[in-house]
Structure 1
Amino acid sequence: MAEPLHVKTHDPKDPDPWHALLLDQSIPIAQEAKTALLRGNQSRSRRYLLPIVRPVIFVFFLLVLFFRMISPRWPHWPKTLHNVIYWGLRTFATPDANRLILRHFIIGTEIMQFIRDNAGVAAPTIPLRPTTLEDLRDNTFLQHDLNIYNFIIGLNSELNAAGRELSPPDQIDFSAISDGPIELGPLPNGRLNAVDVQTAIEAYTPVYGFFLSRRDFERAANSLQLDETIAIYVAQLLGDDHHLTFVNNHHPMVPLSLFETGFRLMMHGYDAEALHGYLRQKKRLAGQQKGATAPKISAGN
């Protein structure tokens, strides 16, 4: 398991890099997510296990991609995939890793709803709000990938039909963005639950490619580069593009290699947390400004 993240004293001759990042406020990631990620970064799993298993993962990935060249459609077993992911996370992943994964689907749902609310469109998708690992078995990972494409298609179809583009509304509606810790159910914390989130994600990437058709896997991998697209939509609605500096996965008009999928999945989670955190900041600022401009009522009224 990870060593304690907080340090009691700061030694200028030997500063702790994770302590520095914990204190840093340049990226508006929720504190519970930042702490979970940094604990994973300093864990034995991330430092020692991941470098050992990476060559094995790479060879497995090569075999999967070669197999998919021969058999692009079979097997296509999404239910089996989700059961395998559920079992692995329940058995081996740390509570921090599972917490970050569950959070990801929830904040993704909130960001898409924020865009809908302020763009004035329907663009229907299936909301994903898993609070336990058991919830992930309901096709959650695949539906997450489908949601993003269906959302972009629905949003732009409605805008094109109305002959308009995204622009700031008269009043920004932040009601879709939760402000506070995301409540999750109990997470397993047994002796084997020691694998950090990055090791788990990179290990599952070729598994994802094996159990899904080539089309589904490639669509999922390319969806990671849509982080920039979603961030641009938010920028158009806010009239503010500062958060675009947080985005690391850029537009899939020029797709990246599938071998980078595991790392880009990590950056996808980071991009989503940063964008959600930025919207939280904006929501709080809007609340403060509203309170500051509200008329004061005297005791005699």
Structure 2
Amino acid sequence: MSEADFFKNMPHDKNDPNPFLAVFMDRSIPFNEDAKAAYLKDCSSRSRQFLLPVLRPVARLMIALLQLYKIVVPRAFTSSKLLHRVLYLGMKTFVSPSANYMILRHFYLGSEVLAFIRDNVPGVQIEMNPLKPTSLAPVKDDLFLIHDLNLYNFIINLNRELQSKGIEVTKQERLNLAAVTSGPIPIEPMPKRWTNFMDLTTAIECFTPVYQLFLTDNDFWRATNSLQLDETIGILASKIIGSNDRLALINNKHPMVPLTTLRAGFRLVLHGLATEQLHALLVELKQKQEAQDQAVAASPER
């Protein structure tokens, strides 16, 4: 049974409608059906309902205290390797299967979105470092840190190419969607022990101060500021597609207005949803383009 079947088979009580069923049934926002079901199922968990309100203020207090601590000893206990080992063990032991699935999907889809932009700006040559994890093991290899670096390096290298070669990002009459996976993402089944109870939002809120503890102050600020690039990626994609009517739900806004680190966990969830929505839109465009190609190929006039 797919994740989507959980909501498709859910009974509808008109006197007590399920809010998550309503959001799942709504198709105004582009979103992979199984990923949407996994996320909403995770949102409806007891962990998010009862644990998140308790842990979120504690996590944000820890961020504030660690910020003060880093001012005094900016490089104490910093280790990206140790950080990612802790993240791996935390995900393997405490995070729910749905949440782990969504986290790994994010790296996979993010790499495809960047490749799509690169492939649809004729004349640019950018070396990519795609991250496509299908299990939790790659988390130990600095996966989160490399993801942030990839995004910054892509924006810098793309704009250097555009400026040095006098190229503009413009609408492409025929999109190159070869980098976009339209079928299921081949992610392995996630750990499903009794300890794997923590929902995505709660896990991110808890992991954010851990992230801050093991990184230098500069690395943590760079990581949180990368969330502001959602708007940049959305604008680039909309120029290529020639439409921005369904990219309006980007909530991590102007990249020239960096925000404080206190709400980094919440903004990270928005970042993940923005990636899911953009990738789902690209999948939709790919399927339409393939259908048009098949119709043309089957036309008697040919």
- Shorter-normalised TM-score: what interval? over 0.9
The answer on 1:31 being equivalent to 2:17 is no
Counterparts of residues 6-155 of structure 1 (less than 5 Å): 8-120=10-122, 121-155=124-158
Unaligned runs of 5+ in 1: none
User: What is the aligned partner in structure 1 of residue 179 from structure 2?
Assistant: 176
User: What is the aligned partner in structure 2 of residue 163 from structure 1?
Assistant: 166
CA offsets 1:242-288 (integer angstroms, 9 cap, x no match): 23212111122011121110000000000000000011111111112
The answer on 1:274 being equivalent to 2:277 is yes
Bigger mean CA offset, 37-46 vs 284-293 = 284-293
1:81 aligns to what SS in structure 2? helix
1:243/1:8 CA distance change after superposition, 3 Å: closer
Unaligned runs of 5+ in 2: 1-5
Identity of aligned residues (%): 44
- TM-score, with length taken from structure 1: 0.94
1:296 equivalent among 288, 295, 299: 299
1:189/1:69 CA distance change after superposition, 3 Å: same
Question: How far apart, in 2, do the equivalents of 1:25 and 1:54 lie?
Answer: 30
C-alpha displacement at 1:13, in angstroms? Answer: 1.9
C-alpha displacement at 1:297, in angstroms? Answer: 5.3
The answer on 1:195 being equivalent to 2:195 is no
1:251 equivalent among 237, 254, 257: 254
Question: How far apart, in 1, do the equivalents of 2:107 and 2:76 lie?
Answer: 27
C-alpha displacement at 1:236, in angstroms? Answer: 1.0
Question: How far apart, in 1, do the equivalents of 2:271 and 2:221 lie?
Answer: 15
Question: How far apart, in 2, do the equivalents of 1:8 and 1:125 lie?
Answer: 42
Question: How far apart, in 2, do the equivalents of 1:134 and 1:78 lie?
Answer: 15
Q: 1:111 is aligned with what amino acid?
A: V
User: What is the aligned partner in structure 2 of residue 237 from structure 1?
Assistant: 240
Bigger mean CA offset, 234-243 vs 19-28 = 234-243
Q: 2:235 is aligned with what amino acid?
A: I
Question: How far apart, in 1, do the equivalents of 2:91 and 2:229 lie?
Answer: 26
Question: How far apart, in 1, do the equivalents of 2:69 and 2:125 lie?
Answer: 39
Question: How far apart, in 2, do the equivalents of 1:86 and 1:57 lie?
Answer: 19
- TM-score, with length taken from structure 2: 0.94
User: What is the aligned partner in structure 1 of residue 3 from structure 2?
Assistant: none
The answer on 1:205 being equivalent to 2:189 is no
1:244 aligns to what SS in structure 2? coil
CA offsets 1:58-112 (integer angstroms, 9 cap, x no match): 2211211111112223332000000000000000011101000000000000000
Question: How far apart, in 1, do the equivalents of 2:7 and 2:194 lie?
Answer: 20
1:237/1:190 CA distance change after superposition, 3 Å: same
1:192/1:295 CA distance change after superposition, 3 Å: closer
Q: Does the aligned pair in 2 maintain the 1:125–1:150 contact within 8 Å?
A: no
